[in-house]
Amino acid sequence: MEALEAKARRGRPKQENSLTKENILQEAVALIDEIGLEQFSVRTLAKRLGVFPRAIYWHLSNKNALLSAVVNHCTQGVDPRTPPSDWKGWIAELLHSYRSVVRRHPRIAPLIASQLLSNRGADLMLADRLLGVLEGAGFIGEKLLSAFDVVIAAQLGFVTMEHAALPEDDYADWAESMRETVADIDETSYPHLARYRESLANRHFILRWENGITVPLDTSFNRYVFVVIQGLEHLLQAQ
């Protein structure tokens, strides 16, 4: 078997012999950053790497495995440095660190939020640490499990909404139609939206035509983190 594998390696083009999983993931992330998930394909990635698609499959068995690995690759380094004994500070750092990752690679946001295949690329060590931090804070039983879900949802939810993908076709027309929709909000039918229209327009959820790449929701995110942690503290203290 080893002899056959060695013979196969000798028969590969030079680029394929030098290809590594790390090379593949670096170029996959760069390609997704450039063209987005909808246009991304293994064939396009292979062309960028100068290899046949089969060379990628020697390292990652299929497209789902590749995309899962991309998630893991992009989210490395979010493990908080705050001591676990400071559970509120630890969780706050986790949420801010994860947002920083998504801001660097906003086009992976749909993959993280809406596709379960990203679970295969989840950082199990970080998930284990989160459970330990919550346990150390005093969460037990169902409270512990609920708090775990809350933190994961908080980690993924806001930032992936903030960096939701923009329409790729006729974006200018779509953006203009959104501006018109906001401008035409009727005071009689929507009195509260009309009252806060100027403050909401393109700066808060629902009434946006740009995403967090160009219009980040920094103040709202900071308050979101505060509310999440306050809610967890209330849950911890509740009977």
175-224 pLDDT, tens per residue? 999 999 999 999 999 999 999 999 999 999 999 999 999 999 999 999 99
pTM value is 0.81
Q: For residue 194, is it within any domain?
A: yes
114-119 mean pLDDT: 52
Identity at 128, one-letter amino acid code: D
Domain span at residue 17?
2-60
What total of structural domains would you count in the chain? 3
Residue with tokens 């219009």: 215
Q: What is the structure's pLDDT at 119?
A: 58
* pLDDT band (50, 70, 90) for residue 165: confident
Does 224 share its domain with 106? Answer: yes
Q: For residue 82, is it within any domain?
A: no
Does 116 share its domain with 101? Answer: yes
168 phi, psi to nearest 5 deg? -85, -25
Other C-beta atoms lying within 10 Å of the C-beta of residue 18: 10
Does 25 share its domain with 41? Answer: yes
Residues contacting residue 22 through CB under 8 Å, at least 6 positions apart = none
Q: In this predicted structure, which of 11-15, 18-22, 66-70, 133-137 has the lowest mean pLDDT?
A: 11-15
Does 131 share its domain with 224? Answer: yes
Does 160 share its domain with 131? Answer: yes
**pLDDT digit string (tens) for 61-88?**
898 889 888 988 888 878 899 999 999 9
Does 223 share its domain with 206? Answer: no
Query: What CATH number is associated with residue 17?
Result: 1.10.10.60
Kindly state the tokens that stand for 201.
Answer: 């327009």
Q: What is the structure's pLDDT at 17?
A: 60
Contact 103, 216 (CB under 8 A): yes
